[in-house]
């Protein structure tokens, strides 16, 4: 069950060493850190760690802050090029529990996309205020209603994809960022007829460092759903490697 965990970073030096160990030590998955030129030396620290992990840890160094969506797309393309069966999204700040990764992978034995959901029974956001919970739940309800998505957590970023279905998309045509990127990827899988499942997770606020979320990213998501609603999925050119979705 090969899998590549993609983690975008910007100034995550205080978290990255612990995260690498938490992802790689108990699992058979590999880890790709996509670093956007972190001034705090996150990328250099990852390079220093690579020899300890016998080829299981790799890094993609970008010249500056190019955005979360493009970071994930770059990571996904590496997963496709390197022949992985699965590719994961997760945050670098321990908001997502690395111990859940094997369960997400197991779910994709019979699904194309497994989502870690805050908004189904068993899911929670224990560190959030009532106002933040209301805004986040409302945003997910807004997006899923407009797009007709059969999932409850549309903006979450803890996911496992089967690469077979990602091969059907022209990933270079996906330009969304932040919440809008999360919405778009889930919606595109839905448009392709992929099977999507949710599993409950506990989402905790970052332990160290500062949040990268901004009002601009939230506004982009609010308007992006209408663009997505009226556009077909960007399809990749047919390939001999395209095996379609799982049964």
pLDDT tens digits, residue range 107-135?
999 999 999 999 999 999 999 999 989 98
Does a structural domain hold residue 13? Answer: yes
Beta strands in the chain (DSSP E): 3-9, 30-35, 57-61, 86-89, 113-117, 159-162, 196-200
Beta bridge partners of 8: 34
Domain range enclosing 110: 3-229
Per-residue pLDDT averaged across 96-116, rounded? 98
Does a structural domain hold residue 58? Answer: yes
Report yes or no: 98 and 20 within 8 Å, Cβ to Cβ: no
pLDDT of residue 177: 85
Does a structural domain hold residue 156? Answer: yes
pLDDT tens digits, residue range 222-236?
788 999 999 999 999
Supply the CATH number for residue 184's domain: 3.90.550.10
Beta bridge partners of 6: 32, 89
Angle at 34 between CA 33 and CA 38, to 5 degrees: 105
pLDDT tens digits, residue range 52-66?
999 999 999 999 999
pLDDT averaged over every residue in the chain: 91
CA 140 – CA 156 distance, rounded (Å) = 9
Does a structural domain hold residue 70? Answer: yes
pLDDT of residue 242: 46
Does a structural domain hold residue 246? Answer: no
Look at the chain and report how many structural domains it folds into: 1
State the residue for tokens 């990749």. 236
Does a structural domain hold residue 62? Answer: yes
Does a structural domain hold residue 234? Answer: no
Q: Is 239 exposed, middle or buried (0-12, 13-18, 19+ CB in 10 A)?
A: exposed
pTM: 0.91
CA 187 – CA 183 distance, rounded (Å) = 6
pLDDT of residue 219: 74
Per-residue pLDDT averaged across 171-197, rounded? 93
* Contacts of residue 107, Cβ cutoff 8 Å, sequence gap at least 6: 114, 160, 197, 199
pLDDT cut 70: percent of the chain above it: 91
Does a structural domain hold residue 247? Answer: no
- 208 pLDDT band (50/70/90 cuts)? low
């Amino acid at each position: 069950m090969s899998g590549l965990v993609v983690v975008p970073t910007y100034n995550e030096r205080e978290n990255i060493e612990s995260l690498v160990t938490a992802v790689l030590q108990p699992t058979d998955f590999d880890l790709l850190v996509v670093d956007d030129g972190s001034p705090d030396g996150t990328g250099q620290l990852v390079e220093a760690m690579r020899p300890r992990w016998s080829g299981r840890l790799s890094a993609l160094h970008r010249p500056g802050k190019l955005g979360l969506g493009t970071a994930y797309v770059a990571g996904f393309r590496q997963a496709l090029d390197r022949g992985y069966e699965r590719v994961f999204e997760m945050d670098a700040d321990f908001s997502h529990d690395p111990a859940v990764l094997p369960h997400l992978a197991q779910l994709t034995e019979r699904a194309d996309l497994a989502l870690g959901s805050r908004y189904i029974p068993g899911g929670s956001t224990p560190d959030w205020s009532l106002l933040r919970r209301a805004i986040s739940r409302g945003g997910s309800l807004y997006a899923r209603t407009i797009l007709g998505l059969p999932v409850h957590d549309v903006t979450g970023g803890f996911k496992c994809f089967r690469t077979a279905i990602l091969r059907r998309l022209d990933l270079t045509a996906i330009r969304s960022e932040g919440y809008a990127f999360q919405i778009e990827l889930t919606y595109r899988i839905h448009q392709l007829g992929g099977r999507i499942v949710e599993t409950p997770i506990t989402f905790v606020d970052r332990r160290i460092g500062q949040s990268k979320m901004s009002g601009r990213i939230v506004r982009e998501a609010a308007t992006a759903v209408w663009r997505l609603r009226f556009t077909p999925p960007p399809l990749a050119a047919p390939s001999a490697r395209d095996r379609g979705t799982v049964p």
